[in-house]
Amino acid sequence: MNKSSKSILLIDDDKFINFYNKKILKKHNPSNIITIVNSGAKALKHLQNAMNGLVEKPNIIFLDINMPAMDGWEFIEVYDKINPEFTCDIQLIMLTTSSNPKDQEKAKTSAIIDNFINKPLSLKLLDNTLKDLKFSLK
């Protein structure tokens, strides 16, 4: 991975949304490394592999809420138990279609979730979100 590229982990069970979001992220910076997993459990396995040095550690995670088997909130519960030295510099963004105000409120009160946005991504939404976080994918 070169200095201008970032590692991005997309966690969503919707293949079309993943395809679309990957295109937006690549438009933002073509050199970014984008990993897509379709469940929270696979995301946790990816993070374990990153801790073991087998794959790139993600700089940013985009997490869907509504997924079968392990939803976004269940992922967050386990993610919260991962060594904070590993997770402290990972930006975690809930990227969801949920319009449930309880989900938004829960995300706002979470120390782990850095932002809560609605899918799909757009270049403008991505730019604004990254600006709010003072984070760059370039």
Quote the tokens at residue 85.
């030295």
Q: Which of 91, 97, 105, 101 is nearest to 121 (CA)?
A: 97
**DSSP label at residue 52:** T
Q: What is the pTM of this model?
A: 0.93
Q: Is 22 exposed, middle or buried (0-12, 13-18, 19+ CB in 10 A)?
A: middle
Q: What is the pLDDT of residues 43-95, one digit of tens each?
A: 999 999 999 999 999 999 999 999 988 999 999 999 999 999 999 999 999 99
